[in-house]
Amino acid sequence: MGDWLEVDGSYGEGGGQIIRSSVSLAAITGKAVHIQNIRAKRAKPGLQNQHLTAVRAGAEICAAEMRGDAVGSTELFFRPTKKVEAAHYRFDITTAGASTLVLQTVLTPLALAGGASHVTVTGGTHNPMAPPAEYLEFVYLPALARAGLKSIMDSPRNGFYPKGGGQIRLSLSLESGFMPVDFTLRGDLLRASGIVLASNLPETVLERGEATLREFLPESVPVERRLKPSPGVGAAAFAHTEFEGGFGGFISLGEKGKPMEKVAEECGSAFEKWMQADAAVDEHLADQLVLPMALAKGRSRWRTIEVTEHLRTVLWLVGLFVPAAMEIEELGDGSGIVVIEGCGT
């Protein structure tokens, strides 16, 4: 395997993204990685339960040897011992930690493994520090479909803080590696929708949320109500767009004492701002595209509504593992164009 690749976990944004992306890249490249200063800038430094689940999920798909995989650990040694295998996998987060982030940790390695994989993750599906299940369904996976990924996803149960217990199931395959994408010009709007969702709350909560969300969305955009089972109580509003050349998704989560009208208003306001902008991808998709497109063969480009520290951090990290050429052209309005010359797999 060669020497350990050293990664400073406090670099840039300094959060869990560095851990998850390092594990993904180690599984893909076979490189042994030593991550230090894990989440050093956070109020609770070190690995937490949801990070551990992501790390152990990454370890399972490549039979990695590990040291430091414990709650509170500020360093991790991760050494893959075999190539990633496409198969059936199940990962359980014992808290309301984000299931979507665990899925994103293993998705690119499994996609590049050849064959079909089926992954089930239980835990939080709606977490304030992570993309919700609907974001994967309507934004992330459709964006990767443009790069050749075939996937089917469903989420039969919601998982809200603090009980978690939600579930996401994903089947995926990729025939011959990722193809590059160009999301610099939006083009025509292909589809858009709003969703108000809740668990263990009266139907009237969804009705109120729907009425408010409709005030912000064009009349032609449908709004769906989703009342799903869950171990806990929770609500959220979500809206998304898919253009010929781009995607955007926006979430607002309910909390105790927060009216559903306020939840829907926050989501709707973000949607309105997005529709008035020129960028082709939202700020979250902008950094989530970096890893798979660095491994595509050819040049990818996308215009993000905002150049974030998350984006800068993942560009730095990916550059430690693979020889992809990456740059950001920053524009005067805070947006930017990411250009990646992928190295292929």
Active-site residue numbers? Answer: 310
**Residue 156, CA distances (Å) to 137, 159, 192 in order:** 13, 10, 22
Which residues sit opposite 148 in a β-bridge?
Answer: none
Tokens 């869990």 label which residue? Answer: 16
Unique residue bearing structure tokens 């590049």: 112
Q: Which residues contact 30 (CB under 8 A, 6 or more apart)?
A: 1, 62, 80, 83
SS3 308: coil
Q: Strand 150-157's sheet: what is its strand order?
A: 88-92, 117-123, 166-173, 150-157
Compute the distance between CA of residue 60 and CA of residue 91 in angstroms, rounded to an integer.
10
- The packing angle between helices 99-111 and 16-29, to 10°, is 20
Tell me how far the alpha carbon of residue 161 is from its chain's centroid: 18
Whole-Å CA distances, 137 to 91, 100, 174? 19, 10, 17
The structure tokens 């992306």 sit at 21
Q: Give me the numbers of helices (H) and strands (E) for the chain, helices first please.
A: 10, 16
